[in-house]
Amino acid sequence: MVNINDFKKRIKGMLSQDYQLEFLGDNLEEIAHLLSDTKAEKIYQWVQDIVALNIRPIVVGSSKTYKEWKTHQLLTFRYPFSIENTEYRILFVKVKNSVYIEFHLGDHKYYDKVRKDLDLKKSNY
């Protein structure tokens, strides 16, 4: 079981930025609480690999607006995992050459909603 505050703090600690990272998801706290220490460590390593530029992002060529950015200005990183036969996804969103803005954690229904908002639903990756 992972404490949600420790989970967020550890991820924020990997980023060197002044911009406040948002943690989003319909059941974010409940899902984080279900994480084993091993699964949490894999997520932390994945975030560290993103920060170290070792993972390629999903890039969209759309000019659709998402919050205050165009989606072509965003880089999105996807991490799938399962807990007790339930599939979950993390989408970590960064502005190109700038700050990380969102960390989404949710089930497939939530994931599809965020993909649509980010204009990723129709893209191939």
Query: Would you give per-residue pLDDT tens digits along the chain (125 residues)?
Result: 899 999 999 999 999 898 999 999 999 999 999 999 999 999 999 999 999 999 999 998 888 999 999 999 999 999 999 999 999 999 999 999 999 999 999 999 999 999 999 998 764 44
Longest CA span, the chain: 40
Number of domains comprising the chain: 1
Is 60 a domain residue?
yes
Q: Which domain holds residue 38?
A: 4-117
Q: Taking Cα atoms as reference points, which of 100, 97, 96, 91 lies closest to residue 119?
A: 91
Check: pTM over 0.85? Answer yes or no: yes
Is 58 a domain residue?
yes
Is 113 a domain residue?
yes
Is 122 a domain residue?
no
